Amino acid sequence: MKVEPKIREFICTTAHPEGCREHVKRQIACVKREKIIHEGERVPKKVLVIGASTGYGLASRITAGFGCGAATLGIMFEKPSNGKRTATPGWYNTAAYEEEARKEGLYAKTINGDAFSREVKEKTIALIKEDWGKADMVIYSLAAPRRTDTEGNTWVSSLKTTGEPFTEKSLDLRNNTIAEKTVEPATAEELEGTKKVMGGEDWLDWIKALKEADALAEQALTVAYSYIGPKLTYPIYYDGTIGQAKRHLEHTAEVIAEEFPSVQARISVNKALVTQASAAIPIVPLYFAILYRVMKEQGNHEGCIEQMVRLFKEKLLKETPPVDEKGRIRMDDWELEEDIQNRVWEIWNQVTTENVEQISDIRGYWEDFYQMFGFGFENIDYEKDVEIQVSIPSIK
């Protein structure tokens, strides 16, 4: 079947299997150009990646696998094709990852299911015990709209402010126009729900479950991803519901360190990038488009894979990684440089529907967006029929 993008605001409801494969292959090639491991550093060998199929989790898996030679077990929540609709991009990415890994003799298995559930945790632990004995690294990279906890309560995440309503310029993704958008404050229940979904409770549950089952190696490393961003987006991000959840996640690193002193728990604050999760945040896409423009001009723009390569190569695997005053690794260091942010702010103040194409990198925004779903690669023939039912080697 011929597959075309079908976009609804911040989501594309189709994905191109060959394009997704190309996306994964390009990320693998990027990792292979780098020397990730240096003498005397820890080398992760058995890596569990929770949220492994897209965005930062997929880039982490590729870096661990192809950069460190690690066996990887990925957890994801994706849909296969039913023959009529395409699979979700994370499904195709994972099929491609496993195939490419196998070609190089790298262990790669995947569990498709709800990472928040006890069932998936048990299945994961059973597989780790059977195949590896113990995992030595756990990457927590979930971004989810809801969570049913182990007691059966369902929580929903919101992207709202926590104080006053917030009105700012926003990019209308349906027609690339700039209009003001108001984000309303969350109710107490919405705030609580966001913390339950995107905070650290489930990360801690995973570490506890793995420890109790004796499935984590001594001195195992675990990392979860956070975001702060510029003052411009504080009302909707850092001081909004999601920011409160991220503070909870960050605090969870301390809880893990206290409860399990043999586990090294780290937070990495990553750069703002277009992913399926972040494209849904109001106001933020316009910031992406301007930030991309400024960082590309400065020559220090990175995508998910470049971020993860730099994280592994320069920070995470060091005996004592460079951290900020709160103990966090800062991969948003370049994004938040004063020069970059001053320029972003200057453009932000000038941007209108008429000049958005000229003064921001809206093209780069859409390029990243299309590529996430396997579209827009010049070497893929999108006129050709493709098989949309693709199987993942480790999933029967």
Q: Residues comprising the binding site for NAD(+)?
A: 51-56, 77-78, 114-115, 142-143, 246, 273-275
Residue ranges of the annotated binding site for substrate are 227
C-beta closer to ligand NAD: residue 262 or 284 = 284
Of 107, 237, 238, 287, which residue is the catalytic one?
A: 237
Whether the CB-CB separation of 199 and 115 falls below 8 Å is answered with: no
CA distances from 86 to 60, 115, 370 (A): 25, 23, 15
- Residue 276 lies near ligand NAD (rule: CB under 6 A): yes
Among 124, 278, 341, 394, which residue sits at the site for ligand NAD (rule: CB under 6 A)? 278
Among 62, 64, 75, 356, which residue sits at the site for ligand NAD (rule: CB under 6 A)? 75
Amino acid at 56: Y
Length of the chain: 396
C-beta closer to ligand NAD: residue 77 or 345 = 77
What is the rounded (10 degree) CA torsion for 64, 70, 75, 80? 90
C-beta closer to ligand NAD: residue 314 or 383 = 314
Among 17, 67, 90, 282, which residue sits at the site for ligand NAD (rule: CB under 6 A)? 90
Among 96, 115, 204, 220, which residue sits at the site for ligand NAD (rule: CB under 6 A)? 115
Among 15, 28, 31, 52, which residue sits at the site for ligand NAD (rule: CB under 6 A)? 52
Whether the CB-CB separation of 395 and 110 falls below 8 Å is answered with: yes
Residue ranges of the annotated binding site are 51-56, 77-78, 114-115, 142-143, 227, 246, 273-275
C-beta closer to ligand NAD: residue 56 or 132 = 56
- Residue 91 lies near ligand NAD (rule: CB under 6 A): no
Strand pairing report for 135-140 and 46-50 = parallel
C-beta closer to ligand NAD: residue 41 or 149 = 149
Provide the 8-state DSSP code for 316. Answer: I
How many angstroms separate the CA atoms of 380 and 310, rounded?
29
Half-sphere exposure of 162 (CA within 13 A, CB side): 18
Q: Reply yes or no on whether 234 is catalytic.
A: no
Instruction: Name the token pair of 268.
Output: 């990495």
C-beta closer to ligand NAD: residue 164 or 324 = 324
How many angstroms separate the CA atoms of 316 and 176, rounded?
38
How many angstroms separate the CA atoms of 352 and 387, rounded?
42
Q: Which residue is nearest to ligand NAD (CB)?
A: 55
- Residue 232 lies near ligand NAD (rule: CB under 6 A): no
- Residue 203 lies near ligand NAD (rule: CB under 6 A): no
Q: Alpha helix (H) ranges present in the chain?
A: 17-32, 55-62, 68, 89-103, 118-131, 188-198, 201-212, 241-259, 284-298, 304-310, 338-350, 356-359, 362-372
Q: Cβ contacts of residue 97 below 8 Å, gap of 6+?
A: 24, 58, 61, 62, 65, 74, 108
- Residue 364 lies near ligand NAD (rule: CB under 6 A): no
Q: Within positions 137 to 166, which residues make up the interface with ligand NAD, using CB under 6 A?
A: 141-144
Stretch near ligand NAD under the rule CB under 6 A, chosen from 30-38, 124-132, 276-284, 376-384: 276-284
Catalytic residues: 237
* Interacting residue ranges for ligand NAD, rule: CB under 6 A: 51-57, 75-78, 90, 114-116, 141-144, 225-227, 270, 272-273, 275-278
